[in-house]
């Protein structure tokens, strides 16, 4: 066969990956604990 | 920009633990990212061996990290599905090391305009900025090329960009995820006080007259000369390719008038290895006779041989050609040494000689195969969209044959991109028949080389894929990485050679064409792809835990993350049994860690927070500052009660005693006076 699989599924950036995964993290990819920050 | 506060810094050697749930390919790419840190900074990484704080890398739903060392013991960093790209991993680790995104620095409004009305509703918080009392840009100018910068379309609600650069030329530059920029490295090295990088040894483009401290060999009959052009070729160096008047030097050994057998030795300065393996990379131009030769030697020094001992490494297979050829030579040196380039005049007549430029020596593994695509700009423009070109077939040291497929002009769905796919191919019949199929855990890396002179400043673009022996072809029962003769298609090359090409794994968004045109990805018109196949089956078993603790790091998800689809069970190679340890018999609860004390006795080190802790020989009890307050109050009340009882008892006893005494004496002194 002439199979070809795209491991990125067209997602060009890590922010696209996170958005596709339904994540809504601080600045897109930061784990941020407000209590810790205080 | 970096978070301010020494408490957020890690030690220069960062302990890490790769969780079991990570994809095997991701584990391999994480180790490649660590290698880039070692090459370009003084940051090193070591497997967690019980240190109080460490980075636990796991497969969450997405790619994310905290900023800085939060000193929470196990600090999580997620490399989820789709995050196993070296630049993504480097980006997340820069967060962990203490860096925010570039466009959040305090002076960002001087350099970019945030288009607030184009941002998706509720996502405006992603464009916060920090004042310069909480973050520092470490005295480095705003960096559009930072790998920590958002791209122009980040969090947009339509088709218009959310970030507009004040200098329009940088509109498509922001958001690069190829490699560390120069400023990324400057900031990292400033923040951690790096004086030198861990695995870099030397680089030389011969632009300075001191030729990087190289010396002419003492036992030869001719010399290498520093020149900018040679009549018989090359006419320019490789560093600048003649673009800068007054610059552009290389080293040349003329074989025009030399006597047959004459040698010219060019020796590097003294180098001090740490790892015991090195890669020598250089560009070589042979305009001499076929019989002229370049050989690589090393001169090793130790106490017994203070003048050095010569050791032959290899002769370079580089026949005369009208181009600068790229060569790699693997070295294995563990003593102080010099690299020696030995030119030898052959038996034939020559109109030129041997030339060297852009030398790099680093303690890294050499790439195995080179695919040079000539006139790459034209190839990008003239190849029909959706059409792939293929590299030659390369033979790996494991016996498998593979090649790279490249879409130079993108595809209909992804125009303006380069697509890159790796394929196994059929090789020699007898060899293929002797191999294990499906191929297991072979990681193929495809790197488009940034041909910058200095290896530390390169932003090469690389992607890796790994042959998972359990992967099947969609809609079929065939294994994806089975023998290409079984699952591949027959192809015929231009010269009539026939072979089988197996299914491909890769990406349609390898690199944008615009970025491929930038930097030194194309030099002298050519692009250079470096290809390697590595066995990474050793990454399939779990990373050993420190002193065999039973407190295994868990893989909890952030509350915003979706649950992860369970990974199918995959057969894992058997691992050798570990030697028994006193910790084998000790179970530490509540994330405690078993360590051996000075006497070799296993003890649990319990987890501790700001106002809580675990205690007990197995960390089975939890304590907190609140518990202490309760304990103190209860204890005080008890002491008070006991004192009251003692006082009352004493008073009653005394009263009885004096009453009896007074009765006996017939005395009528009032009791009250006696008590007083």
Q: Report the 3 state secondary structure along B423-488.
A: EEECCCHHHHHHCCCCCCCEEEEEEECCCCCCHHHCCCEEEEEECCCCCECCCCCCECCCCHHHHC
Buried b (16+ CB within 10 A) or exposed e, B517-544: ebbbbbbeebbbbbbbbbbbeebbeebe
Grade residue B621 by pLDDT with cuts at 50, 70 and 90: confident
Beta-carbon separation of B509 and A12 below 8 A: yes
Q: Are B14 and B46 in contact (CB under 8 A)?
A: yes
State residue B286 phi and psi, 5-degree precision.
Answer: -110, 105
B476: chain A residues, CB-CB within 8 Å: 1
- Model confidence over B408-434: pLDDT tens digits? 999 999 999 999 999 999 999 999 999
Q: Give B160-218 pLDDT, tens digit per residue.
A: 999 999 999 999 999 999 999 999 999 999 999 999 999 999 999 999 999 999 999 98
Contact B591, B74 (CB under 8 A): yes
Q: How far apart are the first and last CA of chain A?
A: 58
Q: What is the pLDDT of residues B501-521, one digit of tens each?
A: 999 999 999 999 999 999 999
Q: Tell me the shortest Cα–Cα distance from B615 to chain A, in angstroms.
A: 24
Buried b / exposed e across B392-418, counting CB within 10 Å, b at 16+?
A: ebbbbeeebbbbbbbbbbbeeebeebb
| Beta-bridge partners for B311 | B298
Of B67, B154, B508, the CB nearest to A6: B508
Is B508 touching A (CB cutoff 8 A)?
yes
Question: How many CB pairs below 8 Å do chains A and B form together?
Answer: 129
pLDDT of B664 > 70? The answer is: no
**B456 pLDDT higher than 80:** yes
Determine the Cα–Cα distance for residues B62 and B541; give it in Å rounded to an integer. Answer: 23
Q: What angle do CA B556, B560, B561 make, to 5 degrees?
A: 55
Instruction: Give me the helix-helix angle, B182-191 and B86-97, nearest 10°.
Output: 30
Give A1-38 pLDDT, tens digit per residue: 578 999 999 888 999 999 999 998 999 999 986 655 54
Of B140, B73, B62, the closest CA to residue B107 belongs to: B140
Q: To probe the interface with A, which of B102, B122, B560 has the most A CB atoms within 10 Å?
A: B560
Chain B, window 138-167: residues with a beta carbon less than 8 angstroms from a chain A beta carbon: 150-151, 154-155
3-state secondary structure of B640: helix
Look at residue B501 in the predicted model and tell me its pLDDT.
Answer: 98
Owner of token pair 């019989």: B291
Specify burial of residue B569 (Cβ count, 10 A radius: 0-12, 13-18, 19+).
Answer: exposed
Chain B residues close to A36, C-beta within 8 Å: 70
Q: Under an 8 A CB cutoff, do B125 and A26 touch?
A: yes
List the one residue out of B6, B74, B185 whose CA is nearest residue B551: B74
Q: Which residues contact B9 (CB under 8 A, 6 or more apart)?
A: B68, B69, B97, B98, B191, B192
Beta carbons of A31 and B66 less than 8 Å apart: yes
**Averaged pLDDT, B279-306:** 97
Q: What pLDDT is stored for residue B599 in this prediction?
A: 54
Contact B100 A27 (CB under 8 A): yes
Q: Are residues B292 and B286 in contact, defined by beta-carbon separation less than 8 angstroms? A: yes
Q: What is the pLDDT of residues B117-144, one digit of tens each?
A: 999 999 998 999 999 999 999 999 999 9
Least confident segment among B9-23, B580-594, B605-619: B580-594
- B554-559 long-range CB contacts below 8 Å, 24 or more apart? B554/B591, B555/B19, B555/B21, B555/B58, B555/B59, B555/B60, B556/B76, B557/B60, B557/B61, B558/A23, B558/A25, B558/A31, B558/B60, B558/B64
Contact B326, B283 (CB under 8 A): yes
Using CA atoms, how far residue B185 sits from B42, B137, B365, B647, in Å, is: 10, 12, 22, 75
Residues of B in contact with A10 (CB under 8 A): 413-414, 508-509
Residue B595 confidence (pLDDT)? 66
Q: Which residues of A touch B414 (CB under 8 A)?
A: 10
pLDDT score at B585: 62
Mean pLDDT of B49-64: 97
Per-residue pLDDT tens digits for B535-594: 999 999 999 998 754 444 544 433 333 333 233 333 333 333 333 466 666 677 777 776
Taking phi over 0 as left and psi of -120 to 50 as alpha, with beta for the rest, B42 belongs to: alpha
Task: Estimate to the nearest angstrom the gap between the alpha carbon of B125 and the chain centroid.
Answer: 30
For residues B183 and B522, is the Cβ–Cβ distance under 8 A?
Answer: no
The token pair at B220 is 């030869």
Q: Which of B467, B507, B558 is most worth mutating to test chain A (most A CB atoms within 10 A of its CB)?
A: B507
**Mind listing the pLDDT tens digit for each residue in B309-355?**
999 999 999 999 999 999 999 999 999 999 999 999 999 999 999 99
Residues of A in contact with B154 (CB under 8 A): 15, 28
Active site residue B92: yes
Q: Which residue of B has its CA nearest to A24?
A: B560
Using the beta-carbon criterion (under 8 Å), do A25 and B128 form an inter-chain contact? no
Chain B nearest CA to A26, separation (Å): 6
**Chain A residue closest in CA terms to B420:** A6
A25 with B80: Cβ contact below 8 A: no
pLDDT of residue B597: 62
pLDDT at residue B661 in the model: 72
- Among candidate residues B35, B90, B92, B342, the one labeled active-site is B92
Q: Chain B, 550-579: which have a CB under 8 Å from a chain A CB?
A: 558, 560-562
Chain mean pLDDT for chain B: 90
Residue B669 pLDDT exceeds 50: no
Pairwise CB contact (< 8 Å): A4 & B504: yes
Helix ranges (H only) for B102-211 are 182-191
Nearest CA-CA distance, residue B95 and chain A, Å: 8
* pLDDT for the residue B447: 98
**pLDDT, tens digit (0-9, with 9 covering 90-100), for B241-269:** 988 888 999 999 999 999 999 999 999 99
* CB atoms near residue B59 (< 10 Å): 23
pLDDT exceeding 70 applies to what percent of chain B? Answer: 89
Which chain B residues contact residue A31 at CB under 8 A?
A: 64-66, 76, 558
Minimal Cβ distance to B503: which of A4, A7, A28: A4
Angle B625-B629-B634 (CA atoms, 0-180°, nearest 5)?
145
- Share above pLDDT 90 across residues of chain B, in percent, rounded to a whole number: 79
Distance from CA of B562 to the nearest CA of A (A): 7
**Cross-chain CB nearest to B503 (options A3, A23, A29):** A3
């499906």: which residue's tokens? B438
Q: Are strands B200-204 and B593-596 parallel, antiparallel or unpaired?
A: unpaired
Cβ neighbour number for residue B283 with a 10 Å cutoff: 24
């Amino acid at each position: 066969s002439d199979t070809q699989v795209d491991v990125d599924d067209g997602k060009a950036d890590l922010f696209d990956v996170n958005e596709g995964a339904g994540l809504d993290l601080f600045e897109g990819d930061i784990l941020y604990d407000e209590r810790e920050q205080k | 920009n970096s978070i301010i506060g020494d408490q957020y810094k890690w030690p220069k050697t960062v302990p890490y633990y790769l969780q079991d749930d990570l994809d095997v390919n991701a584990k391999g790419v994480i180790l490649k990212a660590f290698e880039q840190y070692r090459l370009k900074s003084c940051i090193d990484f070591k497997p967690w061996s019980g240190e109080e704080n460490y980075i636990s890398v796991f497969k969450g739903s997405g790619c994310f990290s905290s900023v800085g060392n939060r000193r929470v013991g196990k600090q999580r960093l997620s490399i989820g599905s789709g995050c196993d790209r070296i630049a993504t991993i480097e980006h997340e680790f820069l967060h962990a090391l203490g860096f925010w995104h570039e466009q959040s620095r305090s002076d960002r409004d001087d350099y970019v305009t945030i288009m607030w009305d184009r941002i998706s509703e509720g996502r405006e918080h992603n464009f916060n900025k920090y004042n310069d009392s909480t973050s520092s840009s470490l005295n480095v100018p705003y960096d559009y090329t930072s790998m920590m910068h958002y791209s122009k379309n980040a969090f947009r609600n339509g088709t218009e960009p959310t970030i507009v650069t004040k200098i329009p030329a940088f509109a498509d530059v922001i958001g690069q995820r190829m490699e560390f920029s120069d400023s990324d490295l400057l900031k990292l090295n400033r923040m951690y006080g790096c004086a030198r990088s861990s695995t870099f040894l030397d680089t030389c483009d011969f632009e300075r007259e001191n030729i990087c401290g190289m010396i002419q060999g003492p036992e030869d009959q001719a010399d290498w000369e520093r020149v900018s052009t040679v009549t018989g070729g090359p006419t320019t160096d490789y560093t600048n390719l003649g673009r800068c008047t007054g610059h552009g030097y290389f080293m040349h050994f003329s074989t025009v008038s030399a006597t047959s057998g004459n040698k010219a030795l060019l020796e590097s300065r003294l180098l001090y290895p740490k790892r015991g393996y090195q890669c020598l990379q250089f560009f070589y131009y042979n305009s001499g006779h076929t019989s002229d030769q370049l050989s690589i030697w090393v001169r090793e020094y130790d106490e017994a041989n203070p003048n050095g001992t010569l050791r032959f490494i290899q002769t370079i297979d580089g026949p005369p050609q009208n181009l600068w050829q790229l060569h790699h030579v693997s070295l294995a040196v563990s003593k102080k040494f010099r690299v020696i380039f030995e030119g030898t005049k052959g038996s034939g007549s020559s109109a030129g000689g041997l030339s060297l430029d852009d030398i790099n020596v680093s303690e890294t593994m050499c790439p195995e195969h080179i695919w040079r695509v000539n006139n790459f700009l034209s190839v990008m423009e003239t190849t029909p969209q959706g059409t792939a070109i293929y590299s030659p077939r390369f033979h790996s040291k494991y016996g498998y044959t593979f090649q790279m497929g490249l879409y130079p002009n993108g595809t209909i769905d992804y125009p303006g991109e380069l697509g890159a796919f790796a394929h196994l191919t059929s090789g020699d019949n007898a060899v293929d028949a002797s191999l294990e199929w499906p191929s297991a855990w072979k990681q193929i890396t495809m790197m488009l080389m940034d041909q910058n002179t200095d290896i530390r400043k390169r932003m090469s673009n690389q992607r890796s894929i790994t042959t998972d022996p359990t992967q099947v072809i969609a809609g079929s029962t065939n294994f994806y990485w089975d023998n290409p003769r079984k699952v591949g298609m027959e192809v015929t090359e231009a010269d009539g050679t026939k072979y089988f090409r197996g299914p491909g794994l890769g990406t349609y968004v390898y690199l944008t064409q615009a970025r491929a045109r930038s930097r030194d990805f194309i030099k002298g018109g050519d692009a250079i792809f470096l290809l390697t196949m590595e066995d990474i089956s050793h990454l399939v078993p779990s990373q050993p835990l420190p002193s065999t603790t039973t407190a295994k790091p868990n893989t909890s998800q952030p509350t915003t993350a979706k649950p992860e689809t369970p990974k199918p069970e995959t057969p894992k190679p058997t691992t050798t049994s570990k030697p028994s340890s006193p910790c084998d018999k000790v179970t530490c609860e509540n994330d405690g860690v078993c360590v051996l004390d000075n006497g070799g006795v296993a003890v649990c080190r319990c987890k501790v927070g700001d106002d809580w802790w675990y205690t007990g020989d197995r960390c089975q009890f939890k304590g907190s500052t609140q518990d202490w307050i309760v304990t103190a109050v209860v204890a005080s009340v008890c002491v008070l009660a006991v004192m009251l009882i003692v006082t009352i008892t004493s008073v009653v006893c005394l009263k009885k005693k004096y009453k009896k005494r007074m009765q006996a004496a017939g005395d009528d002194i009032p009791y009250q006076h006696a008590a007083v």
